[in-house]
Amino acid sequence: MEIEELKNVLKNKLSEKRFFHSICVMEMCEKLAKHYNVNIEEARLLGLAHDIAKEMPSDEKLKYAKDNNIPVCIVERYSPTLLHAKIGADICKKDFGFSDKMCRAISLHTTGGENMDLLSKILFIADGIGLDRTYENVDYIRDLAFKDLDESILYMLNLTIKECLERNSPIHTDTILARNWLLMNK
Ligand SMILES: [Fe+2]
Ligand SMILES: [Fe+2]
């Protein structure tokens, strides 16, 4: 799958805003891949494709997961939007022939997870620090991502967990596992 070909697929699948986000994540993945010496083409494809399933309606997400034997945990059943990561990985494998390593990165891009490899870490953080992101402290994390990738991911995981606590919403177990794994491997 070539970048231009994938762009055309995504333009038809995503809203203008989400497409722009995908381009921003692709660009950030490229910068990080250069910095950390990771395959640039793979990183760009991941950035572009990562949210391919994001705009699928919730009931369709649950149906897709059921039809394609994707396990759904209780938190994902409660918040089916989280499933866009696993479904996106499945689509990228079946439709575009992405490697298992690339699919794992897509699968973990929202929650994080244990034993993330460099490519997974890059996609995870690029999703949160693309140039379309404007939240408080984004400049700090953008900077940190190039200095200490693991610290930047921990920061992002802590933000996610704090948000869940403030909203009194469930926390995905992979987010906890990712945080524990990073903290204990420092
Ligand atoms: Fe996403
Ligand atoms: Fe995203």
Percent of the chain with pLDDT over 70: 100
pLDDT of residue 94: 97
pLDDT in tens, 68-84: 999 999 999 999 999 99
Residues with Cβ within 8 Å of residue 23, at least 6 apart in sequence: 48
Ligand that lies nearest to the alpha carbon of residue 112, given by its number in the listed order = 1
Distance (Å) from CA 184 to ligand 1 centroid: 26
pLDDT in tens, 136-175: 999 999 999 999 999 999 999 999 999 999 999 999 999 9
Contacts from 89-97 at CB under 8 Å and sequence distance 24+? Answer: 90/64, 91/52, 91/53, 92/49, 92/52, 96/1, 96/6, 96/45, 96/49, 97/1
Distance (Å) from CA 166 to ligand 1 centroid: 21
Distance (Å) from CA 21 to ligand 2 centroid: 7
Q: What domains sit in the chain, N to C, each tagged with a CATH number?
A: 3-184 (1.10.3210.10)
Distance (Å) from CA 89 to ligand 1 centroid: 11
pLDDT in tens, 78-129: 999 999 999 999 999 999 999 999 999 999 999 999 999 999 999 999 999 9
pTM listed for this prediction = 0.97
